[in-house]
Amino acid sequence: MKHISIDTIKTWERFYRANFINCLSGFKSASLVGTVNAEGQSNLAVFSSIVHLGSDPALIGFINRPLAAAPHTINNIKATGVYTINHIHPSFVAKAHQSSAKYAVDINEFDAVNLEAQFINSIKAPFVGESFIKYALELSEIVPIKQNNTFLVIGAVTDVLIDDKLMEEDGFIALEKAGSMSCLGIDAYYKTELFERFGYARPDI
């Protein structure tokens, strides 16, 4: 087995290193974050650092890169206080990936990548029309991470849109039936397959 020290890793080319380190923490869910700026222009970008923070209250976080690298999503969230998270499926994964490109601030990425911006009720932020599982959040807190100038963006879930056939009796959502995709590294996307469900683990069982 190869032993690689961080001193070696630091010498690697930027994208090679990013791919390698990103793979170490494993598969992540791939989602599209939909936002709108104060003037009403929509923005869309891929995010893989989505993390469950708690169910009651229902809080979900994601890591936003430093402002200089990825300013639009976080600035729109600060401006409006709302955003949507949309699962990605194979039928539009290429378009979803394209939304990670650095478009100019005045470009609506829904139009640029040809995905439908769907507005529902009075929710200001756009959903992705093509997504089977999507939810809206209200900004709860933005926590700056000093070590690398990134941000943990924490949102409270306000609305969920889901095909009810995907919801099982115990609340479980069989994401593989929806074809929700996982991702790895900086550009790889995966289909998933259920291996086993075990039930809630207790010491005496």
Ligand X SMILES: Cc1cc2nc3c(=O)[nH]c(=O)nc-3n(C[C@H](O)[C@H](O)[C@H](O)COP(=O)(O)O)c2cc1C
CB of 201 to ligand X, least distance (A): 29
Looking at the DSSP assignment, which residues form a beta bridge with residue 83?
137
Burial letters 68-81, b for 16+ CB under 10 A, else e = eebebbbbbbeebe
Interacting residues with ligand X (CB under 6 A): 30, 43, 45-49, 62-65, 69-73, 97, 100, 102, 183, 186-187
Residues paired with 153 in a beta bridge: 62, 142
**8 versus 25: smaller Cβ distance to ligand X:** 25
Query: 84 and 47 in contact (C-beta within 8 Å)?
Result: no
* Shortest distance (Å) from residue 165 CB to ligand X: 28
Q: In the complex with ligand X, which residue's Cβ is closer, 52 or 102?
A: 102
134 contact partners, CB below 8 Å, separation of at least 6: 84, 85, 86, 87, 127, 128, 160, 161, 162
Q: Residue 100 or 118: which CB sits closer to ligand X?
A: 100
For the CB of residue 63, give the shortest distance to ligand X in the complex, in Å: 5
Distance CA 17, CA 170 (A): 41
Which of 8, 149 has the CB closer to ligand X? 149
Least distance (Å) between residue 58 CB and ligand X: 20
Pair of tokens at residue 104: 């100019």
CB of 33 to ligand X, least distance (A): 7
Q: Is the Cβ of residue 4 or residue 51 nearer to ligand X in the bound state?
A: 51
